[in-house]
Structures are given as C-alpha cells and as structure tokens.
C-alpha cells in the first residue's frame, strides 16, 4: 500500500462549497435590480471590488444620464449605526453617489434616523417601497441632486471595470452597436 504524502496533495483543491446567500447578499442583489428599474444603464453590486481612494465599496451603485445613485444595504440596525463612523460618511464630500439611499427590511431604519440628504427604501420579498428622499419625476434625478458624488472615486470604479474587460480581451466589444441601438 502506497503512503500518502503532503506533496502528493499540492495540486488538489477541496471543492468550493457554495454558501446560502445572507440577507445582506439578497438586499444587494435587489438593490441593483431596483437601480436598473430607475433607468441606470450601468450598475454594480457589492461583489465588484475596486480601489476608489476612499475605501468606500458600495453595496450597489448605478449611473443614469446625469446622475449616480448609491445604495447602502443594511440587514440590521447595528450595521446601520456603525455606518456613520466610516470616514466617507463623516465627510459626505468623500462619498460616492449624487443620490444616496439606505436599503433595508421594513423598520430597521426610520426616516428620522437618516443623515441629511439620504433617502430610504424598504425591501420586501416581492417589492421595494420608496419611503423617503426620492425625486418626484424622472427629470429630477438630474436637477435636484442632494449630493455632488465623489466623481474621482466613481471614475476609479468605472476604469477598474473597463480595465478588467480589457485584460480579458473583451474591451473591443464596446465598439459594436448593441441590438437595442441598431433598431431605434
């Protein structure tokens, strides 16, 4: 019988176990879906990590014509309360997003809890309830922005995404017209 040695195992990896998504994972996915429904043509959720210079890693962020929208997902009240200690929350000029929203299950955060300029969205199993701080009408996403989002940090995220596409040989696809544009 052969003896099993440590060096015999060096090329073998244990199978990666998929874990059940946490409430925070689910909120981030639903937040990104909500951003798309608001007209954001480019969106990221928390699985996309990029160096932004501020340390901010949005749970969800999207861009629509003339505005960026950041969403911070909070599964618990303690997570919300600790959020205010982050340096880009203490100095709102460092933060991303012309619009900023907390996204949570009903009652975790109330409108009275919100920092100045922030909005609130409640997430239910099959819908998102707009609680506070949303613009009235589609044009007001551009005209009534409560913040001037940190465009340098946002740009860093977008450049990081494009660079990853370039490194994988996919950047040339941006020169092709999408079907939706060809038929207009």
Kindly give the confidence (pLDDT) of every residue in the chain, 184 residues in length, as a single tens digit, with 9 standing for 90 and above: 454 444 544 444 545 657 888 999 999 999 999 999 999 999 999 888 887 778 889 999 999 988 999 999 999 999 999 988 888 988 989 999 999 999 999 999 999 999 999 999 999 999 999 999 998 877 788 888 999 999 999 999 999 988 888 898 888 888 888 776 655 5
Of 38, 43, 53, 46, the residue nearest 79 (C-alpha): 46
How far is residue 147's CA from residue 67's CA, in Å, rounded to a whole number?
10
Rounded to 10 degrees, the C-alpha dihedral 135/91/84/69 comes to 30
Please report the pLDDT score of residue 15 as a whole number.
54
Question: What is the rounded distance in angstroms from the CA atom of residue 116 to the CA atom of residue 146?
Answer: 9
Asked if residue 151 lies in contact with residue 70, where contact means CB atoms within 8 angstroms, the answer is no
Please choose, from the candidates 12, 80, 58, 18, the residue with its C-alpha nearest in 3D space to the C-alpha of residue 156.
Answer: 58
| Alpha-carbon radius of gyration of the chain | 20
pLDDT reported for residue 4: 42
pTM, whole model, 2 decimals? Answer: 0.83
Domains and CATH numbers, the chain: 19-171 (3.40.1350)
């Amino acid at each position: 019988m052969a003896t099993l040695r440590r060096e015999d195992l060096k090329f073998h990896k244990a199978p990666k176990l998929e874990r059940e998504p946490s409430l925070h994972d689910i909120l981030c996915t639903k937040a990104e879906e909500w951003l798309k429904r608001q007209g954001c043509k480019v969106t990221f959720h928390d699985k996309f990590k990029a160096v932004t210079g501020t340390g901010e890693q949005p749970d969800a962020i999207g861009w629509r014509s003339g505005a960026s929208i950041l969403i911070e997902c909070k599964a618990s009240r303690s997570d919300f309360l600790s959020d205010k200690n982050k340096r880009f929350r203490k100095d709102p000029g460092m933060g991303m997003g012309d619009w900023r929203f907390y996204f949570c299950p009903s009652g975790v955060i109330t409108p009275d809890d919100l920092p100045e300029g922030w909005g609130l969205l409640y997430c239910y199993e099959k819908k998102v309830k707009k609680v506070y701080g949303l613009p009235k009408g589609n044009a007001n996403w551009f005209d009534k922005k409560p913040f001037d989002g940190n465009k340098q940090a946002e740009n860093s995220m977008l450049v990081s995404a494009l660079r990853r596409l370039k490194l994988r040989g996919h950047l040339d696809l941006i020169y092709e017209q999408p079907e939706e544009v060809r038929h207009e």
